[in-house]
Structure 1
Amino acid sequence: MKEVVVIGGGLGGLAAAITLQYNGFSVSVFEKNEHFGGKLMPIQLNDYYFDFGPNTITMPHVFQHVIEQTGEKADDYFQLIKLASHTRNFFPDGTSFDFSTSQQIMKAQLKMIDTKGLHNYPSFLAEIERLYHLSARYFLPRMFTSWKDYLSPSLGAAFLRVRPLETLDHFFQRYFQHKHILQAFNRYATYIGSSPYQTPATFAMIAYLELIHGVYYVKGGNSNIAKSFVRLARKLGVKLYPSTQVTKLEVKDRKINKIILNSGETVNADFIIMNADLLKAYPHLVLEKERPHFTNQKIEGYEPSISAFVILAGLKKRHQGLLHHNVFFSNNYEQEFRDLFTNKCYSTDPTIYICNSSYTDPTVAPSGDNLFILVNAPSTKNAEAHDGLEDYKELVYKKLETYGISINPHLAVEKVISPLDIEEKFGAFKGALYGISANHRMNAFLRPSNIAKDIHNLYFAGGTTHPGGGSPMVTISGLNVANHIIKTKKETK
């Protein structure tokens, strides 16, 4: 029986482990934290439950497939709740706009403020559906090892049809004209940690996932997806080791021949899957001389995605007017992204996202709102930018006050998580939430390969690799790698 070691128990690593164990491999997963699931981390503060992330669940079929490929029923593991009007977008002038899967609701709102958008909405939906299906067919299921993989006629044609040379902001301006509507749609770039003024229009497919497929919440907390993966993995026989860190990978003859743990114990395996952030973990675990195609200089050349400044606030009251997902926009969105990526500093007028999952599921916070408050933050590349975050927290609270959301007088519990915390807790490159930003086309479409060029039995899964960041994408990366290993084993028999 072939042995597989997975380094990191995030969604990608767990998906790979389940797939491989079910297909006859012997899999061990080593996770440095106490919990499995990576950034899909549960946090309990007294009676208040929070998901660190992701708070927005799309593409539920991806998570269901991980379970159902083994003959189990996904419904026996976690229950999904579909949110109809899922996100309320608030603007400085006191107006708001709800994102909904109901075309009737969307059109009724557009009729009031954006007649161009009202007229174009059907064609907009058709176009983002086309972008999604092209991506789902040609890009998401594939393993890209080099730029040569893009030279096949069918893939090359598909690539040119997904608007790679147009920015997301320019794409949305084709269909809408009101600045508030454009701002709300442009926020989809932050789902991959990037700027809408630089990110390729291809990623408008995210709007399709939310406005057509829908946004979901997992009953009891989204981290139940990760807990379900753990439960199934154990049932299948996967060996799971929490609080166990891999400290070194020894290479001989272009293969990893020894895996060294923080306890000093050594482990051997036929295949190794690195589910940790490869930009951080690969140079830490493997000597530079053993990875000439992935040097330290090359790693430093990648632009990290945005990070996050997070406040978990459990309140003793419930605010009326908040939906499950809420966004309070800044006055100048372009300046906000210039601050994040060019000036590498916090915005003095940030856009603030709030998840209030108790709106949908009061059991997670019986006494009041459980507010997961997130502000886009610069990477930790400029360490000085992250000084004085207590003052920044108060700036966020004061801005929410202008929208009628009072925090301080009603606080029962509070916890702050900074980009520095994210870098340390999750081994995230420069504190990035989504690995590499998609601001540059090469990084958007040709991310680091899932297969190590210099080491024959090493593979990568997670947000830094193909197909990218976000919980469905990292899960797909784990499935892709596992299926490639299964195929490789069959071909070498």
Structure 2
Amino acid sequence: MTSVIIIGGGLGGLSAGISLQSKGYNVTIIDENLHPGGKMMPVEMNGYSFDFGPNTITMPEVFQSVINDAGGDASHYFEFERLVKHTKNIFPNGEILYQSADPDEMISELEKIDPYGATHYKEYLKEVEKLYTLAERGFFYRVFGSWRDYLAPQLSYSFMKVRPFEKMDHFHRRFFQDEDVLKVFNRYATYIGSSPYECPATFSLIGHLEMKDGVYYTKGGNPSIAKGFYQFFKELGGNIHFGTRVKEVVVKEKRAIGVVTDRDETMYAQDVIVNGDFITATKHLIKEAERPSHPDRKLDAYEPSISAFVILAGLRNYQAGVHHHQVYFTGNYQKEFSEIFNKKSLPSDPTIYISHSAATERDISKGSNLFILVNAPAIELTEEEVESYKEKIYTKLEDLGLPIREYLEVERVYTPNSIKRQFSAYKGALYGLASHRMTEAFLRPSNVSKDIDHLFYVGGTTHPGGGSPMVTISGRNVANYILKRDKFVSQKDHSFSSNE
């Protein structure tokens, strides 16, 4: 039986593991954490239940297909609920815009604030659907190794059509005029850890997922997806070791042959898949001499994505006025991103996102379980800075009418420091790499190692990018690559890149 070792049990590693295990491979997953799912982590505190992340789920069929295509029934492991009116956006002037997957309802919302946007909304939906369709057909389910892959005739047309040279903010101004409404749609850049004033308009396709297909919630909390993957993987006979850290990928004659754990145990396999931060894993698990395509100086030059300042706040009084997804926008959105990426400082007047899953599933948590997130640069913060900024966020929310300190029963704070430590994240970045430069936006680190045979990468820092569906797809892509390689050893599979 062919053995595969996967370093990291996030969604990418689990999806790759399920796909391979179901085809007769002997898969072992090794994870330094004590839970499956990586950043999709449940947190329990004194009767309060929180999802560390991700909070917004789209493309439910991606998660379902992992289990269904492996011979199982995803409905036995997790269940999705579609949220039609999914996000409540609150602007500095007190105006409110609800985002809805019902186009007529959305047009009615826009008519109150942005009449131009209301009349152009259906045109917007058509355009972002076009972007999504081109990306899905041309890019999501492929393994890319170089720019040559994009220049293939069947791809070059699609590449030019997804607006790679236009910025997201410029694209959205075609359809909306109100500056506050523009913030709502520009916020999609943060889903990939980037600035809407720097990242390509291509990523506006996220609007198709949220505004047409819809936003979903996983009953029992979004980590139920990871729990379901883990349970099914175990039922298939897969092995998983929690609380174990890999110290080194063993390379012999330019081929990965196994790993060494922090228990000084050497485990051998035909293939090694890294499900983790590409930069951190490559730098710390592989000797520099073994990876000439990625020396330390090149890895250190990558621009980190946005990180986050997160507060999990349990309020004993249920806050009926707080929506499942609620955003309090800053007055100057462009200044916020400039402070994050240019000044490398915490935003002076931050946009605050709140996830309140108890609004949809009332009995999931005691009181109100507020996941409070502010975009932050990937920097180290002192204890004094953390405490001061936490109080600043509380004060802003209270000034906006949301009582925090009066009803606060439990709290936990996550910063770039703790994200870096717990998830081995590059400088504490939440999404790995920022998608500002063309290389990071469209030529992310390859799923197939350029230097070491039988070494693969999955996760948000690799192709096709960040976000739970993309991470899951990356795992499927690598599994399919291995399956086709082993089945058609002497044949060329043109659905993948040429770096075999």
- Structure-1-length-normalised TM-score: 0.98
Partner of residue 8, structure 2: 8
Amino acid corresponding to residue 17 of structure 2 in structure 1: A
- C-alpha deviation, 1:283, in angstroms: 1.0
- C-alpha deviation, 1:384, in angstroms: 5.3
Amino acid corresponding to residue 396 of structure 1 in structure 2: I
Greater mean deviation of Cα atoms: 384-393 or 83-92: 384-393
- C-alpha deviation, 1:27, in angstroms: 0.3
Q: How do 1:343-354 and structure 2 match up within 5 A?
A: 343-354=343-354
Q: How do 1:229-378 and structure 2 match up within 5 A?
A: 229-366=229-366, 368-378=367-377
Residue 151 (str. 1) matches residue 151 (str. 2) = yes
**CA shift digits 1:412-447 (9 cap, x unpaired):** 111111110000000000111111111112210000
Residue 448 (str. 1) matches residue 445 (str. 2) = yes
- C-alpha deviation, 1:225, in angstroms: 0.2
Q: Gaps (5+ residues) in structure 2? A: 491-500
Partner of residue 81, structure 1: 81
- C-alpha deviation, 1:105, in angstroms: 1.2
Residue 422 (str. 1) matches residue 434 (str. 2) = no
The alignment partner of 1:56 has SS state of: coil
Amino acid corresponding to residue 238 of structure 2 in structure 1: V
Equivalent residue for 1:488, pick from 475, 482, 485: 485
Greater mean deviation of Cα atoms: 338-347 or 113-122: 113-122
Partner of residue 215, structure 2: 215
Q: How do 1:115-134 and structure 2 match up within 5 A?
A: 115-134=115-134
**CA shift digits 1:363-405 (9 cap, x unpaired):** 2213x1100000001002xx35775110100100111112101
Q: Judge conservation of contact 1:304–1:379 (CA < 8 Å) in 2.
A: yes
Partner of residue 400, structure 1: 397
Give, in whole Å, the separation in 1 of the partners of 2:249 and 2:142.
27
- C-alpha deviation, 1:112, in angstroms: 1.7
Give, in whole Å, the separation in 1 of the partners of 2:268 and 2:345.
44
Give, in whole Å, the separation in 2 of the partners of 1:234 and 1:189.
36
Give, in whole Å, the separation in 2 of the partners of 1:417 and 1:275.
22
Residue 472 (str. 1) matches residue 469 (str. 2) = yes
Give, in whole Å, the separation in 2 of the partners of 1:31 and 1:244.
6
Amino acid corresponding to residue 19 of structure 1 in structure 2: S
Relative to structure 1, the CA distance from residue 79 to residue 165 in structure 2 (aligned partners, 3 Å threshold; closer, same or farther) is same
Give, in whole Å, the separation in 1 of the partners of 2:192 and 2:72.
31
Q: Judge conservation of contact 2:309–2:374 (CA < 8 Å) in 1.
A: yes
Q: Judge conservation of contact 2:7–2:275 (CA < 8 Å) in 1.
A: yes
Greater mean deviation of Cα atoms: 371-380 or 242-251: 242-251
Amino acid corresponding to residue 310 of structure 1 in structure 2: V
Partner of residue 225, structure 1: 225
Give, in whole Å, the separation in 1 of the partners of 2:386 and 2:433.
24
Q: Judge conservation of contact 2:277–2:432 (CA < 8 Å) in 1.
A: yes
Relative to structure 1, the CA distance from residue 219 to residue 167 in structure 2 (aligned partners, 3 Å threshold; closer, same or farther) is same
The alignment partner of 2:378 has SS state of: coil
The aligned length equals 490
Give, in whole Å, the separation in 2 of the partners of 1:104 and 1:258.
55
Residue 438 (str. 1) matches residue 435 (str. 2) = yes
Partner of residue 41, structure 2: 41
Give, in whole Å, the separation in 2 of the partners of 1:266 and 1:241.
14
Greater mean deviation of Cα atoms: 317-326 or 192-201: 317-326
- C-alpha deviation, 1:457, in angstroms: 0.9
Q: Gaps (5+ residues) in structure 1? A: none
**CA shift digits 1:258-279 (9 cap, x unpaired):** 4111111110000000001110
- C-alpha deviation, 1:479, in angstroms: 0.3
Give, in whole Å, the separation in 2 of the partners of 1:433 and 1:216.
21
Partner of residue 104, structure 1: 104
Amino acid corresponding to residue 439 of structure 2 in structure 1: M
Partner of residue 497, structure 2: none
- C-alpha deviation, 1:362, in angstroms: 1.2
Residue 390 (str. 1) matches residue 367 (str. 2) = no
Give, in whole Å, the separation in 2 of the partners of 1:155 and 1:385.
47
Give, in whole Å, the separation in 1 of the partners of 2:435 and 2:382.
22
Give, in whole Å, the separation in 2 of the partners of 1:414 and 1:241.
30
Partner of residue 410, structure 2: 413
Residue 460 (str. 1) matches residue 457 (str. 2) = yes
Q: Judge conservation of contact 1:346–1:385 (CA < 8 Å) in 2.
A: no
Partner of residue 141, structure 1: 141
Coordinate RMSD, CA, aligned: 1.0
Partner of residue 379, structure 1: 378
The alignment partner of 1:97 has SS state of: strand
Give the share of equivalent positions with the same residue, in percent.
49
Amino acid corresponding to residue 16 of structure 2 in structure 1: A
Give, in whole Å, the separation in 1 of the partners of 2:74 and 2:444.
31
- C-alpha deviation, 1:171, in angstroms: 0.5
Give, in whole Å, the separation in 1 of the partners of 2:329 and 2:387.
21
- C-alpha deviation, 1:41, in angstroms: 0.3
Give, in whole Å, the separation in 1 of the partners of 2:329 and 2:237.
47
- C-alpha deviation, 1:113, in angstroms: 1.7
Give, in whole Å, the separation in 2 of the partners of 1:283 and 1:228.
32
Q: Judge conservation of contact 2:381–2:416 (CA < 8 Å) in 1.
A: no
Relative to structure 1, the CA distance from residue 387 to residue 447 in structure 2 (aligned partners, 3 Å threshold; closer, same or farther) is farther
Q: Judge conservation of contact 2:5–2:258 (CA < 8 Å) in 1.
A: no
Amino acid corresponding to residue 373 of structure 2 in structure 1: L
Relative to structure 1, the CA distance from residue 395 to residue 144 in structure 2 (aligned partners, 3 Å threshold; closer, same or farther) is same
Give, in whole Å, the separation in 2 of the partners of 1:306 and 1:210.
21
Give, in whole Å, the separation in 2 of the partners of 1:449 and 1:281.
14
Give, in whole Å, the separation in 1 of the partners of 2:211 and 2:321.
21
Greater mean deviation of Cα atoms: 1-10 or 246-255: 246-255
Q: Judge conservation of contact 2:258–2:270 (CA < 8 Å) in 1.
A: no
Amino acid corresponding to residue 363 of structure 2 in structure 1: T
Amino acid corresponding to residue 474 of structure 1 in structure 2: V
Give, in whole Å, the separation in 1 of the partners of 2:381 and 2:121.
44
Ranges of 4+ aligned residues in structure 1 off by more than 4 Å: 384-387
- C-alpha deviation, 1:219, in angstroms: 0.7
